[in-house]
A = this chain, B = another copy of it.
Amino acid sequence: MIRKLKEHSRLDHDDLAEIRHLNPVVRELQNGADIIRQGDRPHVSVMVVEGMAARYHILPSGRRQYLSFHLAGDMPDSQCLFVDQMDHAVCVLGKTTIALVAHKDLIAAFVRRPNFAFAIWRETLIDAAIFREAITNNSGRSAVARMAHLFCELFYRARASGLTRDYSCQIPISLVQLGEALGLSIATINRALADIRDHDLADLKNGVLTINDWSRLSKRGEFTPQYLHLRRPPF
C-alpha cells in the first residue's frame, strides 16, 4: 500500500508510521468470489495484497458491466469510504489475497495525518480518471481499439507497480469478462483478440497478458497514460 501511494503521492515519516499502525485483517478468496455486493453498507475498506479484483454493476436484466480492474496494492473499494451504500459490487479475479481495515480506524488516521488522507483521496481521484477513460474507450472506439487500450492500461499499471516480468503480467480475465468490461459480445471479443494476436501486438492466454509491440499496441488503442497521474512513468 505504501509503495502504491508513493507512486503518486509524497508521504513523510509520521504519515508512514500512521499507516504502519493500522492493523489489517488478511483473507484469501477463491476465483470470482465477491468481496462486496451492490447494496451492502460496508464498514471496512479493502486492499488487494496479491491477485486481482474488479468492480462491476449488475443490471436489472442480470447483465454484468465490469467497471475497472485492480492490481496488488490497489484499494478497490476506496470509492465507498464516504458513501453509505454500495452502488456497485467488487469481486476477485483468480485466487486473491485481500487485507481489510475498519473505516473508523482509517478516518481516525485521516484526522491525525491529513497528508495521509490526501494521498488516499488522490488515489480515489485517479480511480475516477480511470473511469472517465473507460467512458471514452467504450463510447467511441472500435472493438480492437478498445481491447488494445485496456491491455495498455493494465500492463502499464502492472509495470508501474512492479508486477510485470519482461513484457508479461498475470491478468486472469476470461473472454466473457473482457466482453462485459468493454461492452462487446464474446464473438466480437474473440475476433478482436485474434486480430491483436495476428498483428503481433499482444496476447492474452491462460491468464497471462503478453505485450509484443508496445508502440504499435498503444497507437492502436490511442493509449496516452497521463490520466494515470504516475510520478514516475514506467515507460
- Which residues in A have some Cβ–Cβ distance to B below 8 Å? 39, 55, 57, 59-61, 63, 65, 67, 79-85, 87-88, 107, 110-111, 114, 117-118, 121-122, 124-129, 131-136, 138-140, 182-183, 222, 224, 226-227, 229
Contact = CB atoms under 8 A, between A and B. Distances in A.
A128 B126 contact: no
Contact of A129 (B83, B117, B122, B224): B83
Contacts of A81: 121, 125
A133 B128 CA distance: 12
Interface class of chain A by DSSP: helix
A129 B129 CA distance: 12
Contact of A136 (B59, B114, B121, B222): B59
Given A57-B136, A117-B117, A138-B139, A129 B79 contact: yes
A141 to B, nearest CB: 9
Contact of A128 (B65, B85, B128): B128
A230 to B, nearest CB: 11
B135 A87 contact: no
Q: Return the 4 tightest CB-CB contacts between A and B, nearest first.
A: A139-B183, A131-B131, A87-B227, A128-B128
Nearest to A8: B83
Given A114-B111, A132-B55, A182 B139 contact: yes
Contacts of A118: 82, 107, 110
B87 A57 contact: no
Given A121-B82, A125-B83, A229-B85, A67 B132 contact: yes
A126 B82 CA distance: 9
Given A65-B140, A138-B135, A125 B57 contact: no
Given A65-B135, A121-B121, A131-B135, 16 more contacts: A57-B136, A60-B222, A65-B136, A79-B129, A80-B125, A81-B121, A84-B229, A85-B229, A87-B227, A87-B229, A88-B132, A110-B114, A114-B114, A121-B124, A124-B124, A134-B135
